[in-house]
Structure 1
Amino acid sequence: MSDQPAAQAAATPLTSPRPILAVTCGEPAGIGPEVAIKAAWQLRAEINSVLIGDAAFLAMVAAEIDPQIRLVALSQHALRNSGLPNFPHGQIAVIDCPLDAHVQPGQLDARNGRAVLRTLDIAISGAQQGIFDGMVTAPLQKSTINDAGVPFTGHTEYLAEKSATAQVVMMLATDRTTPPLRVALATTHLALKDVAAALTFDSLSRTIDILHADLQKKFGLAQPRILVTGLNPHAGEGGYLGREEIDIITPALQAAKARGIAVSGPYPADTLFQQKYLEGADCVLAMYHDQGLPVLKYASFGHGINITLGLPFIRTSVDHGTALDLAAAGLGRADHGSMLAALNVAAQMVRLSQLRKE
């Protein structure tokens, strides 16, 4: 792919005030609180990270990680009425979102599922109001939220619903490969048996348009080049292994080209992820979750990021799950590299957006 780092927006100078990023701490029994606190503290001079979670619990976690970490609790009421105070670099703000049950590391508790969702609601609302420049999310446990009685498919779908966004695109990225790699998805969290029915000319066309627009706007790529996989083995092999390439994907690509988008394919997914094909490209669009993401996660797990495109605000996330077994083993074991990358990329997107407005 192109030389510009895949997990980063175009580099911008640190001349503007620190970007203000809401950081939801995710499943409290997992590693989310630890990686969020460690990354926010490490980047405190460059980024004003505002943690959202149970203030008392996060203070306890922070004290065990490093007694030098300074967290300052704010109530949701104060945020709504007074806005966000300007904290110095030596403090991290926490918007208090109390949990409903005691946390036992590594042990899921459905009683806390709704509290986790409330942290997302606070971040979304603040981003929409302009209190936050963007949001970064630590991993949550989908099963806990569903067990709490709330149907929940994932961050991506929830953010789209709450922001009234008709369609979003999930993209993972890393700059730890040569060349760097971005992989976007035409469908997200679907059972494999439902993927083919979900692929339509209209939905794929909208995905390509969103991907093209946000690669320009959020990554500063003037004319992004997008490579597209087929759905079936060997990209359908001329229709013998499926007709989705002939009936849906190819017509959508031809229409996108007519709109001036540099898109090509469909290519067999099992051979596309080679340097000779990716060199000079900016993104791969895969048809479903486990078609494109295993390649990226194998190459960079724990240091890649998840980006939701198409939203009216910036959102990045880690590329890993809650790691309950690691959390159960005690603090100090979780690698916060992916959270560092997610914060840095969100901040770079904010700075790029600010430059575009000047």
Structure 2
Amino acid sequence: MEALAVTAVAPVNIAVIKYWGKRNVELNLPTNSSISVTLSTDDLRAITSVAVSPQFSEDLFWLNGELQNLIGSKHINCVNILRKERALLEAADPGLKKLSNWKIRIISENNFPTAAGLASSAAGYAALVFSISKLFELDLNQTELSKVARVGSGSSSRSLFGGYVAWQAGNLENGDDSVAVEVAPVSHWPNMRALVLVISAGKKSVSSTGGMQRTVGTSTLFPARHLKIVPERMSQMEDAIRAKDFGSFAKLTMCDSNQFHAVCLDSYPPILYLNDTSRAVISFVHYFNEYYGAVKLAYTFDAGPNAVLYFLEEDSAQVLSCLKPVLPAAKIPFEVDEGPSGFCFDAMDMLKIGITDIVYSRVGPGPEVVETSLFAPGDKFVPITATQR
């Protein structure tokens, strides 16, 4: 069988200035700009294999082993945008294979819970768009690809870059200026670390898209956020990243997370993503910073109860030692002693019960092509089974 295939991995990104609210739902155009940190694909990633062949009779897509309906989906919208780009190359060079007319098979997997507030769709769409762009040999840079990924998932535009990334809201109605750009590469501030605290791996009760539109339509606090506060914080956060000023980075990250959840609570009916364990994490972080007399630890929460803690590599032992009593012992990345005897946070029991898993990570690069394939050996181009891996 004549076929071409590519596999790529793409990272999770965790916003420190949050995207919340759409000015155009169909195009995924945001009401405000946002900034995120890309986490290493060694720890959290989506991996996607794509193949095209003139012998395929239909487009097929498997997500985490389950066959999906592609008709009218955002996934096929992204595929078709890239097919049009490939068709332009084929029109300019008649010698190229007509890959734009061939049907496609897609297999995608995440190594973390989908739809649990861990930016699974961001990594997935970034991997999809990046892998197809390589398969089609498109001459599109990461910013141009971010426009395509954005059609699938807004925050996926930021997963096309490594390091520290801004997604610019833009002003044009067609979305051509709503793109992701690099704020700083991994090499600029490589000692940023992240600890994901998994509090719930279940699907959130209110989807991000549904929640955003509820907030836009009902929150009286929201206009001040997207018109005044976020633009100011965008500038301040970019300055903090460029200056490698962790204190400012941390305070901005926590304040923006708090305000994001405040506008969710101000929506009607209210959107309640955080739970008691989430709130205990917030209290823990402020206690930790007060105990050590400096802002060394920051929290942020996306649309779900799971926390992401940011800190610098040089403070990792302190952070992990104070959290050691509540973390799954097997998941702690290196040996640490118990925290100081005087460190007496009064809700440790709640954290121990509520934190079910952790992922220790660091700032990392953007998508890349890999040799591993999710297709089973042979020419059938179906998902590989557990025994074949």
> Is TM > 0.5 for Structure 1 vs Structure 2?
no
Instruction: Report the TM-score, using the length of structure 1 for normalisation.
Output: 0.33
More strand by share: 2
Compare relative contact order (CA 8 Å, sep 6+) and give the higher one, 1 or 2.
1
Instruction: Report the TM-score, using the length of structure 2 for normalisation.
Output: 0.31
The structure with more radius of gyration: 2
